[in-house]
Each structure stands twice: as C-alpha cells, then as structure tokens.
Structure 1
Amino acid sequence: MAEGLRERKKRQTRRRIAEVAVRLFVERGFDDVTMAEVAQAAEVSVNTVYNYFQAKEDLVLPPEEASPRRLADIVGERPPGQSAAVAVLERLRREVRGRERAVGLSAGFGRVLEMMRAAPTLTARLEDLGRQMTDALAVALAEETGADAGDPLPRVVAWHIGCLHSLVYAEIGRRTTAGESPDAIAAAVLELLDVAESLLGERVRTYAVREGRPCSE
C-alpha cells in the first residue's frame, strides 16, 4: 500500500526531530540538552516531540531501530534450510557490506558514538538492549524447536549468538573511536565474522535449521 500524505509528513517530522536532536547532543552532550531545546531547534512543540519519542533516549535509540526483537526477527525471517546462527551471521555481513546505519557504519557515526559513550543513561540502555535481544531470541528458539521449559539449549544458543552480535558492535565501536575509515572497519569486521563462524561449535551452527527445501540459486 502506498504511503499517504499524512503518513509521509509524520515520518518526515519524526526524522527531522531525531536529526536535530542528535546534532544538538553531539555538539553539547546528551545530558546538557533538554527536550524543550530539541523542540525549539526542530520548530515544533514539546508535546509534538513527546508524541513521537516517549523518552529522551528514544531520540538516539528509537525503538523501531534499536529493537529488543532484532535477533528474534532476523531468525524468524530466515529462509528454509538456514540455521539461527547462520541467519544472524548473514544479516550482519549484509549490513556491514552495505555500510548500514544499523551497524554504525554510516558517515559521522564516530562523533555520535562518542556522545553515546559519555551518557550513562544511553550506555545503560545499550547494555539492557543486548540482554533483551538475547532473551527474546531464546524464547523464539524454544518456541520454534518445541524445547521443554527446562531445556537450557535454546538459552545457550541464544547466548552464543547474542555474544557474537555484541562483539561485532564492540569491534565497530573500537575501530571507529580509533579513527579508522568505514571501508577499513567493514573489511576487518567481515574477517572477524568469518573467524567467528569457523570457531562456532557444530551444535550451535546447525541449531534450529528451518524446515523446508532451500530456495534454488
């Protein structure tokens, strides 16, 4: 269904508010900018800002982009014949090759990362988000495989995948802070993913292969 005028205007307003907010946070620090100042700079009312973003942290980590269900959704969308771990590895490779915002390889991310690391509420949000992603993935794997309530295997596999996912973001953050270019970071992270996959145990790498015949090339 085509996007209507009202929906497009709302999306544009939301994006403008977020872009203005991040610019202010980078310039002055997350804790030193109020929601009222964001509203003034974006030329909207404070109520409008809160209509789009329930909390100040959402301006930097919007729920639709920083979703607790990211890993569960990636695994849920995998094609027949693919395991949970391989699905996440392939998604990460695609995002890294595309220099996507989802993995922090977009232009100017270095300054945004510095701002986030200097804000305790944002670093706490990121840590909690990682735990929530792993927990949601464990639930999804247990449901799909029909594991018993006391079976630890879905949680262990989810932990491995969650740690790998966190490692990629940590590596990108470390190299971004060191001033490396997005191209250099992408090459290093793709190599890291290859090494990580080679070291994954067979039981993790082949866990929860989706039933059905793989699509032909």
Structure 2
Amino acid sequence: MANEMGLRESKKQETRQLISDCATRLFIEQGFEQTTITEIAAAARVAKKTVTNYFPRKEDLALDHHEAFTQGLASVVAGREPGEEPLAALRRTFRAALLEHSPVVGFTGPAFARMVADSPTLSARLRELHEQREEALAAALADAALADAAPTDATPTGATSDPAPAIAPRAAAALIAAADRLLFRRIQELTLAGYSNDRIEAALLPEADHLRALLAAALGGAPS
C-alpha cells in the first residue's frame, strides 16, 4: 500500500511538472496572454480538466512555485538559529540565494523575465505574491516578538519592558519586503539588460549590503 501511494504521488508530480514545462515553453514562444489552456493540455497530452485540477489559475502555470515564494521570508525567520536576529537570518539566506543564482530571488533567465515583463496579468500576479510574502513575514515577525518577550527562568522577577506597538511587526515586514522587492526587480532589470548571472551577482552583492545596512539602521532600535 505504501509503495502504491508513493508511486501514485510520484506520478502526480511528474504530470504536474510536465504540464508546467509545456506551459512555460508555450508562454515563452507565444506570450502568456495569447496561450490557451487547451493548447497547454494538447502539448502535455492531458485533458484540459487535468491542467485546471493541478493549476486552478492560469498564472500558476507560469509562477508555479508561488507557495514557496510567499512563505520564503517567513520560513527563514521561523527557522533561524537560536539567538539569531531575524534580519541577520534574512541577510544570510538572501546572500546564499544570490550566490546560488536562485530563481526565488529573481534569477529566472532572460526569456522568462521577458515573458513576465510583457504580460500585464503575470506582472499583477507577481505583485500579489510579493504582498502575500510580506504578510507572511509580518506574521512570522509577530510570532518571533512574542517568543522573545516570553519570560524565562533567567528573567528577573518583576522585570518589565516597554511593549512595542501592535503595528511593529507589520512595519518591520513592510520595510524588509520593500528591500526584498527592490532586489528582485533589480535582478530582473539586469537580466533583461543582458547581464550574465555572474555579473548580476557581482553588482547585487554591494547593493544588497547597502540595503541591509539601511534596514539595520531603521530597525536597530526595534524589538526582534
């Protein structure tokens, strides 16, 4: 039974990836707006309903890793090392993704970047995903602040601290997400300008450090 379930899940993943690959190829060749679900189904040799079962929204066929993207910053904060500040964890993770030329931070290649830039629908959807990314980060920062504020055995009896206003996690998330969006757009901009990934990396390293310094200055006095 376990083997059957594993094979079934593997088959589902293969079908999903096939549909996504066919859709991306057609979007790049024909444009996102001009490509139909029927054409994608025919290219993948599946029923049209199979495509919509795996991808309820047409935009998800192009931006098919949207869940990992929207939860990315929040996951870094939630999974950071003990005692590590959220901003330090975010900086460390972004730098690693930049050195890996990860698509999550914007390394999508010129053809894909052009496809998104030329599509009002995909551009709007990407803005929505960035907003969801910010909302998830705000929730993670709120959880982190609550955990840091919880009394421990080492907390002196009667010790108090001035509570941060309720909007603090959302304000911090807004600042961090704005920098994150700027870096993403910068990578896309340089990609469309014909820069290689290595050149983009070299350009973004000091720019990312500059933005992180600005964030550190802005958030230095704020609770975690």
Structure with larger Rg: 2
SS of match in other structure, 2:88: helix
Instruction: Please list, as runs of the form range in 1=range in 2, the aligned pairs for 1:1-217 lying within 5 A after superposition.
Output: 4-65=6-67, 67-106=69-108, 109-146=109-146, 150-202=165-217, 204=219
Determine which structure has the larger helix proportion and give its number.
Answer: 2
Q: Distance in 1 between matches of 2:57 and 2:75?
A: 24
Structure 1 stretches of 4+ with a deviation exceeding 4 A read: 63-66, 147-150, 205-209
Gaps of 5+ in 1: 210-217
Q: Which has the higher contact order (CA 8 A, sep 6+)?
A: 1
Q: Cα deviation per residue 1:144-191 (whole Å; 9 max; x = unaligned)?
A: 313879522211211111011111101101100100001111121122
Query: 1:115 corresponds to which letter in structure 2?
Result: M
Q: Cα deviation per residue 1:102-130 (whole Å; 9 max; x = unaligned)?
A: 22325xx2111111111111111111111
SS of match in other structure, 1:105: coil
Equivalence for 1:214: none
Query: 1:157 corresponds to which letter in structure 2?
Result: A
Q: Distance in 1 between matches of 2:64 and 2:57?
A: 9
Relative distance call for 1:149 and 1:63 in structure 2 (3 A) is: farther
Deviation at 1:65, TM superposition (A): 4.8
Query: 1:134 corresponds to which letter in structure 2?
Result: E
CA contact (8 A) 1:83 1:208 kept: no
Q: Distance in 1 between matches of 2:217 and 2:23?
A: 45
Aligned length: 207
CA contact (8 A) 1:20 1:41 kept: yes
Query: 1:23 corresponds to which letter in structure 2?
Result: R
TM-score (norm 1): 0.86
